[in-house]
Amino acid sequence: MSTIRLAIAPIGWTNDDLPELGGEIPFEQCVSEMALAGFQGSEVGNKYPKDPAVLNKALKLRGLTICNAWFSSFLTTKPLKEVEREFIAHRDFLYEVGARVIGAAEQGNSIQGKPLPIFDAKPTYTKDQWKMVADGLNRLGQLAQEKGMQLTYHHHMGTGIQTAEEIDTLMEMTEPGLCDLLYDTGHLVFSGEDHIAVLKKWAPRIKHVHLKDVRPDVVARAKKEKWSFLQAVKSGAFTVPGDGAIDFTPVFDTLKKAGYRGWWVVEAEQDPAKANPLEYAIKARSYIRDKAGI
C-alpha cells in the first residue's frame, strides 16, 4: 500500500486571496469535482463549512478527507500569546475534521496580497525578527504536538521566507519535529530557486507537499513588468502538474526514495473562468498516475 495520498486544494475553484475568482462556484461543486477527478483529500477553502460536523458529513459523502489548512502567523507583528490563541482555534478545528498537518506561513510584513512588485518589495528579516519567527514556530509546533499533529512551514512568494537561503535559515533555527517543511514546487521555481536542490537537502524534514506547476513566460513578465503576486496569479503564473514547465519526475522519485509518508497536494491557483477546475484536476490526476504510478 502506498504511503503517499493525493489531495487537491480548492484554490483552483475558489481563491481565498482573490474571492472574485470562482466567486460563483459553490462548495458542493468544488468537493464533488475533487472526488470525481480521483482525489482522496482536500485542503480547506473560504467556502468550506465552519462547523466540523457539517463539513465532515459533506466530505464523507464524497470519500474525501481534510489534509491541512493554511495558518497565517503574525509572529513579527503580534504578541505571541495572541498568535497562540488563533493557532489553537485553527488546530482544534483541523483536528476535528481529520487533518494531522498544519501549514503555517508568516504574514507579518508579507506583500503577497498587496499591489506591490513581488520581487522588488519582498520583505527580509532582521536578526531579531528571525528569532521571533523561529522561536514562535517552535512554540506553535509544541501546541500542534499536543494533539499529535505536525506543524509545517509554507515558504511563499512575497514573504520573508521565500528563497532557498531563507528556507535554510528557518530550518537551521527551528527544531526538527516541531517545525518542519511544507515543500512547494511552484513557489520555489517562481522565485528562481533550484527546487530539486531544496528537496534533496531537506527531504527528511519535508512533511507536506504542494505540487504546483509554473508558466515561465508569465513569471518572466511578472519580474520584468514589476507585477504584484496576485496580478501574476490572475495572469496564469501557476497551473497544475503536467501543464507547465516543471518536470515532476525527479520530484516524485526523490520523495519516494526519501521514504516520504503523507500527502501530495495539487495546488494551482488559476482563474476558473480560463482554466476549468474539473478539467485541470483530471489533467493533474492523470499526470501523477503516469509519472509517479500513484
CATH number at residue 110: 3.20.20.150
Give residue 39's pLDDT band: very low, low, confident or very high (50, 70, 90).
very high
Start-end of H helices in the chain: 27-37, 52-62, 80-96, 127-145, 164-173, 185-191, 195-202, 216-224, 229-234, 249-257, 277-292
pTM (predicted TM-score): 0.96
Using left for φ > 0, alpha for ψ between -120 and 50, and beta otherwise, residue 186 falls in: alpha
Find the domain containing 86 and state its range. 4-292
Return the exposure string of 198-211: e unless at least 16 CB atoms fall within 10 Å of the residue's CB, then b: bbebbbebbbbbbb
How many domains, in total, are found in the chain? 1
For 102-152, write each residue's pLDDT tens digit.
999 999 999 999 999 999 999 999 999 999 999 999 999 999 999 999 999
pLDDT of residue 21: 75
